[in-house]
Structure 1
């Protein structure tokens, strides 16, 4: 799988796990160019930079993210970019939801390096890689994914900040937009999502949260040895 041109994006807020994942990927794809980010805003900057990544390795819990929001954003901005979720939350429904929201693979942080290599190889070959132990398809998640897919990347950025309770002027400042532009985006977001208020839209985004946030711990570093 060695390819000096391979470009991989690692998104995880834990420095030790990023280091372990970088080492493991170095064994899997020697010479690969690896970019690391540690927050939702940094992920947005990296994906929005136009760099031609071949693969993204994404944690579900980073500052500024809400459960699967980073995955939904990445898929909306760069639908051609395969995303592999690397998570300590190994609940079957979490794995199934990752697949429904567009991930190409899911690797538990406790998995050995051989499993990571298998998953990365499969995804880079254009296949998907998921544990056979998954929950049944959830129609509610499928409908939520379809509704969110209607949003543009910029609208998704606005929605995530709206869900955090930010006012239009705060969103405008954070995204370097005119306040009136934010208002236009909010109106379009509510229309596309079929929501009548900002509160209703925020509640909808909460559907991206993990059921068991307590299970999303950064304790899987040793699994990549």
Structure 2
């Protein structure tokens, strides 16, 4: 029933998209493997054959460049935060109205992280805490490189500024994207901008 509802939302809001479906984690991983490039994965928190966030972890491990949005009837703020901390690009409660779901998916597709407003939760503050926690996992050199990305510098400019090879810069950028759980430089810069990070 939930899949039918989500499919109709996609048909209306994203009429040109191709929708792939699976009824278990095993089937989902197989479908993703066969599909190649996928723009977005919607993963039910309680999909069969997973417990808690193991499904998210499995998809992130195998397809680290694909944004995963968790869908759930559960709106416990700890579950939401755990999912986002584990690398989900968004968390969409099944209770959201259609327009809000479309807005959430558009935010994720444009490189944002979507966090729902939860009762008694300051979602903007919670998102900033999440971003800070991710940036705190960076090494000092990675923080410097992120600062250069925020300043809009290209890899070759960063290599020149830091007197390191392009290969080293690329390795730092890859590590930054992985630790911040984002899929592009642009997303990393958007996230860093939300907390005023300058390096």
Normalising by structure 2, report the TM-score.
Answer: 0.58
RMSD across aligned positions (CA): 1.9
Do the aligned residues in 2 keep the contact of 1:107 with 1:116 (CA within 8 Å)?
Answer: yes
- List runs of 5+ in structure 2 lacking aligned partners: 135-199
- Is 1:72 aligned to residue 57 of structure 2? yes
Higher helix share: 2
Distance 1:115 1:123 in 2: 12
Do the aligned residues in 1 keep the contact of 2:42 with 2:69 (CA within 8 Å)?
Answer: yes
Distance 1:98 1:132 in 2: 15
Do the aligned residues in 1 keep the contact of 2:84 with 2:90 (CA within 8 Å)?
Answer: yes
- List runs of 5+ in structure 1 lacking aligned partners: 1-15, 143-225
Q: Shift of residue 50 of structure 1?
A: 4.8
- Is 1:61 aligned to residue 46 of structure 2? yes
Distance 1:63 1:107 in 2: 18
Match of 1:23 in 2: 8
Distance 2:104 2:46 in 1: 20
Do the aligned residues in 2 keep the contact of 1:47 with 1:77 (CA within 8 Å)?
Answer: no
What are the residue-to-residue correspondences of 1:135-154 with 2, within 5 Å? none
Q: Which runs of 4+ in 1 moved over 3 A?
A: 132-138
Count, aligned residues:
124
Do the aligned residues in 1 keep the contact of 2:93 with 2:116 (CA within 8 Å)?
Answer: no
Normalising by structure 1, report the TM-score.
Answer: 0.52
Distance 1:116 1:63 in 2: 23
